[in-house]
Amino acid sequence: MGDNNNVNLPPGFRFYPTDEELLVHFLHRKVSLLPCHPDVIPDLDLYPYDPWELDGKALGEDNKWYFYSRKTQNRVTRNGYWKPLGIEEAVIGRGTAGSNNKKVGTKKYFVFYVGEATNNSGAIKTNWIMHEFHLSDSASTSTSSTSSSSRSSKRRPPSKIDCSKWVLCRVYERDDDDDGTELSCLDEVFLSLDDLDEISLPN
């Protein structure tokens, strides 16, 4: 499972979470400052790294890399940038108690381009894709208020990290020769479009 030497997992462990599981069992628990078992997804400042540099830094499984990162508008790396595809796909809770048929978060789509973000015409689109998971506003608000009340009562130092600012990312490279099973229908549509500024999905 990649080259993560800082995680101790049993032999045969495989990490194949659904979108809902990434939000409810991992990101929500991190935002809530709750322990997560197994605690295998690392914190990573994504944007200094090109996607092919994630091996050994993020949690790797089956050519996918998972990590927590702080919310930011700066998605520029050393050799390129992540271009947003202008869509937020709702993730609906279906198998978790208390979250059935409720929106638990959103998934944003990005494609990696090699080149300068200020010179879009000269940038080259790659097959690297990123899914960026965000908790829903209600979840973020409730956990933020809980953290705020806790901070006010215990008077924690102001340098404490606000964990409500975290997102969870999944990065992988699409294989031109694959049969498309690694991609959702939305991924396939997005990758077939060039110079996409904004997409609106029907409600």
Chain segment 106-158, per-residue pLDDT in tens = 999 999 999 988 877 789 999 999 999 999 865 544 434 434 444 444 444 44
Q: What is the pLDDT of residue 12?
A: 74
What's the CA gap between 197 and 72, in Å, rounded? 19
Mean pLDDT score across all residues of the chain: 74
Positive or negative: CA dihedral 164, 26, 73, 183: negative
Domain locations in the chain? Answer: 19-142+162-175
Give yes or no for residue 42 having a pLDDT over 60: yes
Strands (E), 121-187: 124-135, 166-173
- b vs e for 94-129, b when ≥16 Cβ sit within 10 Å of the residue's Cβ? eeeeebeeebbbbbbbbbbbeeeeeeeeebeebebb
The whole-number pLDDT of residue 11 equals: 74
pLDDT for 199 equals 44
- CA 176, 178, 182, 187 torsion: positive or negative? positive
Structural fold of domain 19-142+162-175? 2.170.150
pLDDT digits (tens, 9 = 90+) for 160-197: 445 468 999 999 998 875 544 444 555 555 555 554 44
Tens digits of residue pLDDT in 77-115: 989 999 999 888 999 887 655 556 788 999 999 999 999
pTM exceeds 0.85, yes or no: no
